Amino acid sequence: MPQNIYDNLNFFERYSSLPRSKHGLDGAPEWPVLQSLLPTIRNLRVLDLGCGFGWFCRWAMAAGAQSVVGVDLSKNMLKRAKEATNDKSIEYVLADLDTIDFDAASYDLVFSSLTLHYVKDLPALFNKVFRSLAPKGRFVFSVEHPIILAPTDPSWKTLDSGIAVWPLDRYLDEGPRVVNWLVDGVVKEHRTVATYVNLLNLSGHSICRVEEWGPSLEQVQENPEWAVERNRPYFLLVAAQSNQECDD
């Protein structure tokens, strides 16, 4: 059983007040890029791994999905997700991504936002995702970028020259990282970009697109305090596919 920080009451209250929790997809600055990795949703069977409050599940349903299954480890989050919709085409499942399995060839889109860095056995999950995808099925996910998760001391440092730099170390040493995020002692799994790509390939997926997300120049213009965020990528977004040729 992995750490289930989302059912820690103190964490849950703080998490619930984040922009992405209150405003959903529109509160997530990486959403426009993540959305650009998705196929046309109409008539797709969608699986959301780490669905949280169900924002993406409801968005997919509104975008014309045939059915949506949202999986999460947190009772608190699924309770809220269920309260937010009466739509019977959305099914919420309480399960641990390290032990869950899926029906074969049952989904056209497997989606996961900022969840896979909590999964211990990613090779196993990628194999199960690949098996669950229908022909031409797509797997789209975001994780914290390894550059964010690697360091011993993940906070901006200012050089004598005045430049704010991200103090990278331990990048090549994969494994758990204990970070203080909202509460102390949150455990995430650090893996390199190469590992994400190679595990996808090994599990049979074709890589369609990789994005290293930071705010766009337009977003920085609207939020000048974000300028420093272009010094290193914050999220890693990946689109992969079950067949050999990537569609656009």
Binding site for a copy of itself (CB under 8 A): 147, 151-153, 157, 159, 161, 163-173, 192-194, 197-198, 201, 206-212, 214, 230-233, 244-246
| φ/ψ bin of 105: left (φ > 0), alpha (ψ from -120 to 50), beta (otherwise) | left
CA distance linking residue 47 with residue 160, whole number of Å: 49
Cβ 89 to a copy of itself shortest distance, Å: 33
Q: Which is nearer to a copy of itself, 88 or 162 (CB)?
A: 162
Strand-pair partners of 98: none
Q: Which is nearer to a copy of itself, 17 or 231 (CB)?
A: 231
Cβ 207 to a copy of itself shortest distance, Å: 4
Q: Which is nearer to a copy of itself, 1 or 222 (CB)?
A: 222
Cβ 216 to a copy of itself shortest distance, Å: 9
Cβ 184 to a copy of itself shortest distance, Å: 18
What's the CA dihedral at 125, 130, 133, 136 to 10 degrees?
140
Q: Which is nearer to a copy of itself, 65 or 143 (CB)?
A: 143
Specify the DSSP element, H or E, that contains 32: helix 31-36
Cβ 232 to a copy of itself shortest distance, Å: 5
CA distance linking residue 225 with residue 93, whole number of Å: 39
Nearest CA-CA partner of 25 in 47, 43, 51, 5: 51
Q: Which is nearer to a copy of itself, 96 or 212 (CB)?
A: 212
Query: 70 to each of 41, 45, 51, 232, how far by Cα in Å?
Result: 15, 11, 5, 31
